[in-house]
Amino acid sequence: MAHCVVPEAEEILDKEYKVLDKGFVRLVDYLGGDARIVQAARVSYGEGTTTYRKDAALIEYLLRNRHTSPFEQVILTFHAKMPIFVARQWIRHRTARLNEVSGRYSVMNDDFFVPDPGSIALQSTDNKQGRNPDPVDPATAEQVRIAMADAQRRAYDEYTALLETGIARELARVNLPLALYTEWYWQIDLHNLFHFLELRLDPHAQAEIREYAKVMLEIARAVCPVATRAFEDHIAGGTAFSRAEFEALRALVAERTDDDVRSAAESAGLTGRAAERLAQKLATGRRL
């Protein structure tokens, strides 16, 4: 395959996107773009044998029908700095390759995450792993921020005191809190990046990791604008129904006339083949 250079991606290489109070994400390298996806799917064709419109339609078809291997031909390498509690959620996505800074070899920097007042909230009463959508009052938020910063300062002072006595770095670090910032290089193919973004852009994901996902979506859009738009249309912006939910949906649609369904499709921007696919999905429940 020919080397694939994406001008928009070249422009943002090594650009630092700020995230949270002290974090960032940078694209340090990439392999391929939308053209690479098309090349991989059309292995018997040379580059430039189809139009942009046909290439875009092919990419959308591949993603819509979950033909994932061509998307695995595109690889992005990120340099990211995040609090350890974000990293521990992030690393659950085991389809990437990473190299993280080590507290065994390096003295950790005095960088800790303190949430902004608007993100400090009480525990949710209906979500065991989340917080209420409404923040606490400003006075309480400031008390929480001060308490967190004081605890972080004490922990780091104790860490440096242990290092000064000659205690091994791998031992001195063990009491450092989850708010400490870490860094890593994280390399992943586009298919698995989309899976990461699908989960971490979801409103149920923790707010702090969503901020990183938003930036990485922006970077993916620079590298593969057509594929990313298809991802936003069919995955991030879509939803799935259980069998019972779909039967209920089909019953609702059955009460509408064909003109009602056609009008609803047109109001959503669905025309031609896209409108036909909607009608067939409602009739069969299958991806098309």
pLDDT at site 2: 54
What is the chain's mean pLDDT, rounded?
91
Mean pLDDT of 115-122: 96
One domain, residues 162 and 185: no
Which tokens sit at 5?
Answer: 């250079």
One domain, residues 23 and 159: no
Lowest mean pLDDT among 72-76, 88-92, 164-168, 267-271: 267-271
Q: How many domains does the chain have?
A: 3
Cα 84 from Cα 262, distance rounded (Å): 50
Mean pLDDT of 147-174: 98
pLDDT at site 14: 97
Count of CB atoms situated within 10 Å of the CB of 116: 11
One domain, residues 133 and 213: no
Asked if the model's pLDDT at residue 24 lies above 70, the reply is yes
pLDDT at site 242: 87
One domain, residues 98 and 202: yes
Whether 1 is covered by a domain: the verdict is no
Whether 168 is covered by a domain: the verdict is yes
At 266, is the pLDDT very low, low, confident or very high (cuts 50, 70, 90)?
A: confident
One domain, residues 52 and 164: no
Mean pLDDT of 136-157: 98
Asked if the model's pLDDT at residue 269 lies above 70, the reply is yes
- 110 contact partners, CB below 8 Å, separation of at least 6: 156
Q: Which of 94, 200, 277, 286 is catalytic?
A: 200
Lowest mean pLDDT among 57-61, 123-127, 259-263: 259-263
CATH of residue 82's domain is 3.30.1360.170
Question: Residue 278's domain spans which residues?
Answer: 243-284
Terminal C-alpha separation, the chain: 30
One domain, residues 279 and 258: yes
Whether 269 is covered by a domain: the verdict is yes
At 47, is the pLDDT very low, low, confident or very high (cuts 50, 70, 90)?
A: low
One domain, residues 97 and 21: yes
Whether 153 is covered by a domain: the verdict is yes
One domain, residues 91 and 139: no
pLDDT at site 42: 85
At 282, is the pLDDT very low, low, confident or very high (cuts 50, 70, 90)?
A: confident
One domain, residues 14 and 84: yes
Whether 110 is covered by a domain: the verdict is no
pLDDT at site 147: 98
One domain, residues 45 and 185: yes
Q: Please give the model's pTM, rounded to 2 decimal places.
A: 0.89
One domain, residues 32 and 46: yes
Whether 107 is covered by a domain: the verdict is no
Active site (annotated) includes residue 277: no
One domain, residues 50 and 79: yes
User: In whole angstroms, how far apart are CA 123 and each of 127, 131, 152?
Assistant: 8, 4, 22
Whether 34 is covered by a domain: the verdict is yes
Whether 108 is covered by a domain: the verdict is no
Q: Where are the alpha helices (DSSP H) in the chain?
A: 7-12, 34-41, 52-64, 84-90, 138-164, 169-172, 190-200, 207-223, 225-231, 243-254, 258-267, 272-284
Asked if the model's pLDDT at residue 229 lies above 70, the reply is yes
